[in-house]
Amino acid sequence: MNWLILALVVWLGGWWANVWLSHSARAGTRGVRLLVPAIFGLSLLVIWQGLVRGLNVPQVILPAPSDIAVKMSESLPILREDFLQTFVKGALSGYVMGCGAAVLTAVAIDRSVFLQRGLLPVGNFVAALPIVGIAPIFVMWFGFDWQSKAAVVVVMVYFPVLVNTVEGLRASEAMQRDLMATWGASYWQSLFKLRLPAAMPFIFNGLKIATTLALIGAIVAEFFGSPIRGMGFRISTEVGRMNLDMVWAEIAVAALAGSAFYGVVAVIEKAVTFWHPSQRV
Amino acid sequence: MKNAWPILTVVISLLAIWYAGAVWMNAQWVRDQAARAGTTVTVSQLFIGTMNLDRPVLPAPHQVVMELWKTVVDTSITSKRSLVYHAWVTLSATLLGFAIGTTAGVLLAVGIVHNRAMDMSVMPWAIASQTIPILAIAPMVIVVMSAIGITGIVPKAMISAYLSFFPVVVGMVKGLRSPDAMQTDLLRTYNASATQTLWRLRWPASMPYFFTSLKVGVAAALVGAIVGELPTGAVAGLGARLLAGSYYGQTVQIWSALVMAALVAAALVGIIGVVQRATLKRMGMSR
């Protein structure tokens, strides 16, 4: 009963605090902008804890956040091993290969308007398809280990990055290109000094979309077969054994890894495209 | 239609690469068979052999088309061998989840636009959630819901709903905020209430954003339904066909399920695109 009262108090208190904060005079400041979502997230966690404990929800249905935290701290070596297998070996290597191949393809077809006209609609179409479905095929081709996961990731990230890069290479203005021409710049000079830098906001847009896709591809591909480590493997087997605290721990790691990955790409973007209006705050 | 030729060229060359890949990847198997039989294969025998294997490493496109024809046209749609039956199982979960997720997403977006506290608390999480591989929770949702007695279409639809929810929220918040200050000021001088502003200005103005996020959402919902079919074991649906095919090495079956999934996705996105064009045209917003 106490837990339920705590949950209710925190709910109302957090609600009141956020309404007050967001209507206060300082609502626009950076601190409050961070504080409000933090209060929201924390009170959600406490309400979750309170409801699970107060209503005696069995662990096989929904473990309490404290159980998950305990499990996480207990099984750090396993989580680390799974992280290395899925994120570093599977997702990251596939991400680098896929994005690299996509940018190179975009530069390669840059001179051919014909190929661009053909590839862009096809690329846009493929980007909407359920590409994770190729996972079982790639697991057959490349084996159970991380190579097959990296291959799935390559295909998943390739098309969004390709489409964005091709679009970005068209982003420089006619006047800028004319200026390069008046300086007698060669194709490659104008590509490296003007058009690739101008394309960077678009390329990074694709790279950011690809971060989430990479992690999804690596995890889902493990559902189709993997060695006895990896986040997707752990999730599917521990679900079968009803160890839901372990599953939630893996999901927490996946969420942290996903956000951190996105954050790193966003930071690099900020450093590379510092000149773009959207970065000049 | 000036793009028709380039697209056709790209598609044909992709098919050619596919055929070449089928010959290349299946050649080893054909050679091994021949070596076991104590014969050698000529180039033409090798080519024909790689095209017609039972369980090829990479099936040739025509094998996939024949399998599709067999399971779509030649099999009655009530049979469990029919791909239409499996596609319908997946599609129904997708559509139910998509409807739930879209409705909830639009409602939350309306709340976010009208309530400052909600905006500041929920919006950062909605954006952050797009960087999280939400699909990873699919197996858990399925198993937990079946543990409390909910099976069938609902758990899969929940995953679809969850996946289509966040793109719709983010897109709709942007759309509902797209009217500029001059337009909202005008409605204020008319003394319009918040509800009137919503129906007469914000909602119509958000339509382009609405359809764009619907397209993202429906693609995500389909992926969610397919992945949601994996942990229950291969029962029914396109995901189950993928899994069963991977268990038994039935590559042709995997590829045909994959092509079917692609067709379903293309049809869903295409339908939304047609509705989008018609709606925006009537509203005078088409570009």
* pLDDT of res. B237: 84
Q: Are A154 and A108 in contact (CB under 8 A)?
A: no
Is the Cβ pair A259, B246 closer than 8 Å?
no
Q: Please, are residues B218 and B206 in contact by the beta-carbon 8 Å criterion?
A: no
The CATH code of domain A72-279 reads: 1.10.3720.10
What is the structure's pLDDT at A228? 84
Count of alpha carbons within 13 Å of B24, Cβ hemisphere only?
A: 6
- Fold designation for B83-282: MetI-like fold (1.10.3720)
Residues in chain B closer than 8 A to A215 (CB atoms): 133
ipTM of this complex prediction, to 2 decimal places: 0.80
> Shortest CA distance to A99 belongs to which of A164, A49, A5?
A164
Q: Does the CB of B12 have a partner CB in chain A at under 8 Å?
A: no
Closest CA in chain A for residue B122: A37
Chain B residues whose CB is inside 8 A of the A33 CB are 120
Q: What are the pLDDT digits (tens) for B130-176?
A: 777 878 888 888 888 887 877 778 888 888 998 899 889 988 998 99
Q: Above 90 in pLDDT, residue B98? A: yes
Write out the DSSP string of A124-175: HHHHTS-GGGGHHHHHHHH-SSHHHHHHHHHHHHHHHHHHHHHHHHT-S-HH
Residue type present at position B127: I
Percentage, residues of chain B above pLDDT 90: 16
Does residue A239 contact residue B228 with C-beta atoms inside 8 Å? no
pLDDT score at B287: 58
Most confident of B88-92, B97-101, B264-268: B97-101
Q: Is B223–A115 a contact, with Cβ atoms under 8 angstroms apart? A: no
| Residues A64 and A52 sit within 8 Å (Cβ to Cβ) | yes
Q: What are the pLDDT digits (tens) for B184-235?
A: 899 999 999 988 988 989 999 898 889 988 988 898 899 888 888 877 665 7
* Low-confidence stretches of chain A (pLDDT beneath 70): 280-281
Choose among A118, A219, A236: nearest Cβ to B7: A118
Are B262 and A215 a contacting pair at CB < 8 A? no
Q: Is the pLDDT of residue B119 over 60?
A: yes
**Cβ neighbours, 10 Å, residue B24:** 12
pLDDT at residue A130 in the model: 84
Are the Cβ atoms of A133 and B119 closer than 8 angstroms? no
The sign of the torsion formed by the CA atoms of B183, B185, B189, B191 equals positive
Q: Is A130 on the interface with B (CB under 8 A)?
A: yes
Residue B115: DSSP 8-state: -
Residues in CB range of B32: below 8 A, 6 or more apart = none
Residues in chain A: 281
For residues B243, B248, B252 and B258, what is the CA-based torsion angle, rounded to 10 degrees? 0
**Which residue carries 């060229």 as its tokens?**
B9
How remote is the C-alpha of B236 from its chain's centroid? 17
Q: Give pLDDT, residue A273.
A: 84
- CA nearest A120: which of A170, A182, A60? A170
pLDDT at B228: 84
Query: What pLDDT does residue B95 have?
Result: 94
The predicted pLDDT at position A3 comes to 83
- The mean predicted confidence, pLDDT, of chain B is 85
Sequence ranges of the domains in chain B: 4-54, 83-282
Of B122, B249, B261, the CB nearest to A133: B261
In the numeric block, the tokens 């639009």 are attached to B106
Q: How far apart are CA A101 and CA A95, in angstroms?
A: 10
Nearest beta carbon to residue B7 from set A122, A136, A254:
A122
The minimum CA-CA distance between A114 and chain B, rounded to whole Å, is: 6
Give me the residue spans of the domains in chain A: 2-57, 72-279
Q: Which of the residues A140, A211, A238 would you substitute to probe the B interface, choosing the one with the greatest number of B C-beta atoms within 10 Å?
A: A140
Tokens at A7, concatenated = 């949950």
Instruction: Report the pLDDT value the prediction gives residue B1, as an integer from 0 to 100.
Output: 59
- Give the residue from B128, B138, B279 showing the smallest Cα distance to B210: B279
pLDDT per position as a tens digit, A233-250 = 888 888 888 888 888 999
- Measure A134 CA to nearest chain B CA, in Å: 7
Nearby residues of A24 by Cβ (< 8 Å), 6 or more positions away: A32
Global confidence as pTM: 0.84
Q: With an 8 Å Cβ cutoff, is B249 touching chain A?
A: yes
